[in-house]
């Protein structure tokens, strides 16, 4: 069967089988008040001091809250949760520990996230989150962001069990001192960040037979429908070939599903200002190609397009909240499969820039799609700075675990801004070296470069150095290796349930919000 016909049939099947998004509780805002019944969530400081809403509800229940908490060993430690059904006339009381930390937007988002996670498994149709403190402006919007992120679930392919209780549906009512200001900040700003994260998580969660390059493009087009100041460009395999993007094409050569380059350009600061560029690795499924991976955990390689999902999701959030900045997001999309037409170790590839490299392992494919995408965005958009983001190496996981993504940068200012944005967003980075000695590791006897060193030394750094070889020295550039952060294993974090994390969307939003937008 001709390749184009295979692709057309696959697109039609995917369109017919495209599942509806999982339901998520609606979020609304109201004045701070303590309801007489129902399901409520409230914060408790370390040591269970008799303060605020906790003291009021404890007194109303004749001390039942404190007795239940102490019996359960709950003391209000930061991030702890106690779920109490049927206490003091309430159907459900959620106690959220905030320890003795000073209040911040990060604390608010974590509180909301813990309530959102608990709400997923609650049959209560309405959960009221109480926040009496008015020291942080629009506090309810940050609680709502956390609730939306923590309450995320991906269950499109699960068949409901007959007569099973309905869980996780209804609404979360956030009761704060300034409901109007919180609602405005949520609707005009922070809910769009949540939507960008959800977009990235959904795509990373989808199986490889549901999302591949063409479907990624269709999902992205649908997400941007009607969004102002956004232009979309998509290059198919014929256009990629005409531009000499043989590195991207080489990765997808073994698949019946051809590569794509998806580009979204958002102009929020006029046409005269050069954009910032987010470039994401978009391997919609990675078998390793001819250098076939071991089967253990290969199923997870559906998330190997997380960098692309987060780059596009971040631009979606920025455009919807009408950020005053120009940004271009590039998704380098391919499926890495073994077949008679697949690339081989030892092949030499000429990239769009004219530079050549020798393939050492077809399982080091992420850097192959990125280098053509980086060349493209430099040539077409002349960006002020470039950040690429990729689930690139296992070495990054070994180096810093699942607490940080790896940051590699040649520009000190850009590195500093990214680290600050990571702290503010909760998507933290740890800087790793780009040593000049890595050039020696990439020498090839027959091409300009080898695309990996062929040994296990400094794998994340060598990969970053290879990618940076395609970025002009004068362009501020950073590489984010998010291999350990794109998929969350148990235990969940308050705003990151187990599964696809959407890492990078909040980071990029904070970078723009705190450092790039005019104040």
Of the residues 281, 367, 506, 510, only one is catalytic, namely 367
Within this chain, do residues 111 and 146 fall inside the same structural domain, yes or no? yes
Helix (H) or strand (E) holding 424: helix 412-425
- Burial class of residue 17 (count of CB atoms within 10 Å of its CB; 0-12, 13-18, 19+): exposed
Q: Which of 192, 221, 242 is the last residue of a domain?
A: 192
- CA–CA dist 174, 29 (Å, integer): 5
> Stretch 358-372: mean pLDDT, rounded?
98
Within this chain, do residues 453 and 332 fall inside the same structural domain, yes or no? yes
In a domain, 471, yes or no: yes
In a domain, 16, yes or no: no
Pairing of strands 81-87, 90-97: antiparallel
Q: Look up 219 and say whether it is catalytic.
A: no
Task: Name the pLDDT band for 2 (thresholds 50, 70, 90).
Answer: low
CB atoms within 10 A of CB 382: 11
Within this chain, do residues 226 and 120 fall inside the same structural domain, yes or no? no
Task: Give the chain's largest Cα–Cα span.
Answer: 81
Within this chain, do residues 155 and 250 fall inside the same structural domain, yes or no? no
Residue 150 sits in a domain whose CATH number is: 3.40.220.10
Residues in the chain: 519
Within this chain, do residues 125 and 238 fall inside the same structural domain, yes or no? no
Q: Look up 367 and say whether it is catalytic.
A: yes
Q: Which of 192, 227, 243 is the last residue of a domain?
A: 192
What secondary structure does DSSP assign to 305-350, as a single string?
GHHHHHHHHHHHHHHHTT-SSEEEEEEEEEEE--STTS--TT-EEE
Q: Can you give the three-state secondary structure of 251-298, one letter per residue?
A: HHHHCCCCCEEEEEEEECCCCCCCCEEEEEEEEEEECCCCCCCCCCCH
What percentage of residues in the chain have a pLDDT greater than 70? 96
Within this chain, do residues 180 and 263 fall inside the same structural domain, yes or no? no
Torsion (CA) 498, 367, 383, 430 in degrees, nearest 10: 50
In a domain, 203, yes or no: no
In a domain, 287, yes or no: yes
Task: Name the pLDDT band for 152 (thresholds 50, 70, 90).
Answer: very high
Q: What is the pTM of this model?
A: 0.94
In a domain, 231, yes or no: yes
Of 311, 313, 303, the residue nearest 195 (C-alpha): 313
Q: Looking at the predicted structure, is the pLDDT value of residue 251 above 90? A: yes
pLDDT in tens, 12-57: 444 433 444 456 899 999 999 999 999 999 999 999 999 999 999 9
**pLDDT of amino acid 18:** 40
**pLDDT of amino acid 19:** 43
In a domain, 11, yes or no: no
In a domain, 2, yes or no: no
Within this chain, do residues 129 and 225 fall inside the same structural domain, yes or no? no
pLDDT in tens, 395-415: 999 999 999 999 999 999 999
Q: Looking at the predicted structure, is the pLDDT value of residue 193 above 70? A: yes
Within this chain, do residues 90 and 59 fall inside the same structural domain, yes or no? yes
The domain containing residue 55 runs over which residues?
A: 26-192
Within this chain, do residues 142 and 239 fall inside the same structural domain, yes or no? no
Within this chain, do residues 397 and 463 fall inside the same structural domain, yes or no? yes
Q: Looking at the predicted structure, is the pLDDT value of residue 516 above 90? A: yes
Within this chain, do residues 416 and 285 fall inside the same structural domain, yes or no? yes
pLDDT in tens, 95-137: 999 999 899 999 999 999 999 999 999 999 999 999 999 999 9
Residue 403 sits in a domain whose CATH number is: 3.40.630.10
Residue 361 neighbours by CB under 8 Å, 6+ apart: 288, 291, 345, 452, 454
Q: Looking at the predicted structure, is the pLDDT value of residue 496 above 80? A: yes
Q: Is the distance from CB of 43 to CB of 131 less than 8 angstroms?
A: yes
Phi, psi angles (nearest 5°) of residue 252: -90, 5
In a domain, 10, yes or no: no
Within this chain, do residues 463 and 324 fall inside the same structural domain, yes or no? yes
Of the residues 106, 126, 293, 355, only one is catalytic, namely 293
Q: Which of 138, 168, 192 is the last residue of a domain?
A: 192
How many domains does the chain contain in total? 2
């Amino acid at each position: 069967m001709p390749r184009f016909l295979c692709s057309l049939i696959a697109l039609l099947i995917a369109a017919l089988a495209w599942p509806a998004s999982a339901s998520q509780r609606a979020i609304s805002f109201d004045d701070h008040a303590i309801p007489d019944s129902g399901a409520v969530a409230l914060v408790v400081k370390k040591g269970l001091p008799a303060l605020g809403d906790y003291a009021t509800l404890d007194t109303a229940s004749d001390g039942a809250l404190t007795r239940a908490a102490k019996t359960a060993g709950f003391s209000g430690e930061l991030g702890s949760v106690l779920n109490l059904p049927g206490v003091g006339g309430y159907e459900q009381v959620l106690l959220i520990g905030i320890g003795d930390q000073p209040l911040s937007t990060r604390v608010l988002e974590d509180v909301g996230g813990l309530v959102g996670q608990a709400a997923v498994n609650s049959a209560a149709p309405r959960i009221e989150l109480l926040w009496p403190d008015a020291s942080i402006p629009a506090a309810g919007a940050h609680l709502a962001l956390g609730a939306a992120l923590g309450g995320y679930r991906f269950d499109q392919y699960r068949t409901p069990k007959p007569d099973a209780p309905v869980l996780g549906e209804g609404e979360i009512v956030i009761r704060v001192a300034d409901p109007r200001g919180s609602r405005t900040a949520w609707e005009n700003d922070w809910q769009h960040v949540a939507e960008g994260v959800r977009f990235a998580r959904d795509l990373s969660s989808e199986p490889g037979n549901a999302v591949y390059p063409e479907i990624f493009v269709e999902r992205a087009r649908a997400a941007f429908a009607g969004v102002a100041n956004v232009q979309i460009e998509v290059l198919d395999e014929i256009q990629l070939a005409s531009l000499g993007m043989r590195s991207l094409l080489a990765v997808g050569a073994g698949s019946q599903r051809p590569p794509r380059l998806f580009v979204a350009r958002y102009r929020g600061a006029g046409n005269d200002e050069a954009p910032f560029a987010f470039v994401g690795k978009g391997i919609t499924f990675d078998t390793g190609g001819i250098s076939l991976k071991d089967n253990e955990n290969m199923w997870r390689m559906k998330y190997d397009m997380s960098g692309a999902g987060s780059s596009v999701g971040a631009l979606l959030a920025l455009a919807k909240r009408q950020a005053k900045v120009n940004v271009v997001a590039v998704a380098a999309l391919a499926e890495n499969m073994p077949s008679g037409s697949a690339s081989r170790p030892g092949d030499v590839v000429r990239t769009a820039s004219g530079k050549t490299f020798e393939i050492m392992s077809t399982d080091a494919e992420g850097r192959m799609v990125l280098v053509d995408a980086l060349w493209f965005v430099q040539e077409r958009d002349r960006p002020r700075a470039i950040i690429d983001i990729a689930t690139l190496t296992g070495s990054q996981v070994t180096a810093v675990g699942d607490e940080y993504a790896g940051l590699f940068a040649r520009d000190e200012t850009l590195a500093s801004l990214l680290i600050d944005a990571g702290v503010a967003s909760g998507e933290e980075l740890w800087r790793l070296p780009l040593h000049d000695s890595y050039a020696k590791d990439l020498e090839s006897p027959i091409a300009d470069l080898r695309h990996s060193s062929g040994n296990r030394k400094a794998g994340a750094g060598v990969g970053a150095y290879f990618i940076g070889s395609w970025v002009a020295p004068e362009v501020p550039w950073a590489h984010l290796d998010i291999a350990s952060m794109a998929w969350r294993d148990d235990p969940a974090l308050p705003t990151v349930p187990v599964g696809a994390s959407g890492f990078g969307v909040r980071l990029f939003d904070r970078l723009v919000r705190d450092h790039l937008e005019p104040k």
